[in-house]
Amino acid sequence: MLFQRARLHGSVVDLRVEGGRIAGIGDLAALPGEEVVPGGLLTPTLAEPHVHLDAALLGAKKPNVSGTLREGIALWAELRAGLTRADVEARARRTLKMYAEWGAYRVRTHVDTACLPAAEALIGLKGEHPGLQVVAFPQEGILRHRGALERWGEVVAMGCDAVGAIPHFERTADEGWRSVRLAFDLAERHGIGVDLHCDETDDPGSRNLEVACAEALDRGVGARVVAGHCTALHSYPNPHAAKVVELVAEAGLLVVANPLDNVVLQGRYDGYPRRRGLTRVDELWRAGARVGIGHDSVVDPWYRLGTANLVDAAHMLVHVGHLTGEDEIRRAFRTLHTENHLPFGGPPPIREGAEADLLWWPVDDEIEVVRLRPRPRVVRGRGGPLPMEEVK
């Protein structure tokens, strides 16, 4: 097919796809019998850096009445006890199909290490889905309960792509900091990355992000580290926040904001005015830090809504983050096909000879994609994730 007069990287070009590859980019004439798609916007496929496929599509079974993170964790613990590998596989496949229909073929999921059937299911699905990565995530911490530390290590050894932790949920600040260091140690032994649920709280005293930055800097592994949520940064005193933002940029780790979940989970202890509970995306951008955007939940005990459309998450971000300047809206959308690919080695390239992993949007302006949230047309070659060591 020929995409004719489409916008790509700020220019208007023709792009031909043939045999699963990009056969030409430039000023091209249509060939006899070739499908011609006029206008629109071309981008790489999208990537999801933070979701929980083990809990996806379970939200209607145990509705979260209070809307809090803590009730979500308690409800998940009840649901987790009855899960089977077959059930987790079926729901994960359905959710991955939803992502694919919205143009996301690379998905990083967390799996609760307290649920062996879920870990077996999601790690097993990696053979079916070359763009799937799995993080060993101890939902209730590794130091709170006897045996949790051992199960965490066992799941990592089953074939995970990153080591997770939830330091703000450990019993004390010291144990939270210890869990961060244990995660880095375990990841180092297995030669994989670190992906933390980090400071997902309104508590300005939750200081795990700076510990993660220090570990990343001291070990020289910042490009292999993801810190999800980081909502306490929203509530830090401004002088301390400035220090931590600078540390994040220096360490080079990726902060993943999850605006759909955090705008409803955070601020639950507030009267009025209520905090938005979103990390400081604008300040992180200005400091040169890497920021991704996750959907996080798809109809689960933490977030009853969700469509697996990452543009919905970008749409929410520009609202609750006061990022409604035109350059900011465009940057939020571009994040979905640039920084979101960092855990997978970088975005699939759009260049002559490359595999055709791209999306065609029926509008020619990134702002219109965020405004209208249309379904893209997906063009796929044989692309999968690059190995972690190729992350720059």
Q: Of the listed 71, 140, 170, 200, which one is catalytic?
A: 200
Choose among 286, 280, 177, 175: nearest CA to 230.
280
Please spell the DSSP secondary structure of 5-72, one letter per residue. EEEETTEEEEEEEETTEEEEEES-PPPTT--EEES-EEEEPEEEEEE-TTTTT-TTTS--SS--HHHH
The two structure tokens encoding residue 39? 């206008």
Alpha-carbon gap, residue 48 to 55, rounded angstroms = 16
Q: Residues 322, 282: contact at Cβ < 8 Å?
A: yes
The two structure tokens encoding residue 191? 């030669």
Choose among 294, 335, 333: nearest CA to 315.
333
CA quadruple 356, 362, 368, 372: dihedral sign:
negative
200 a catalytic residue? yes
3-state secondary structure (DSSP) of residue 309: coil
Alpha-carbon gap, residue 47 to 336, rounded angstroms = 6
Alpha-carbon gap, residue 165 to 224, rounded angstroms = 15
- The catalytic residue positions are 200
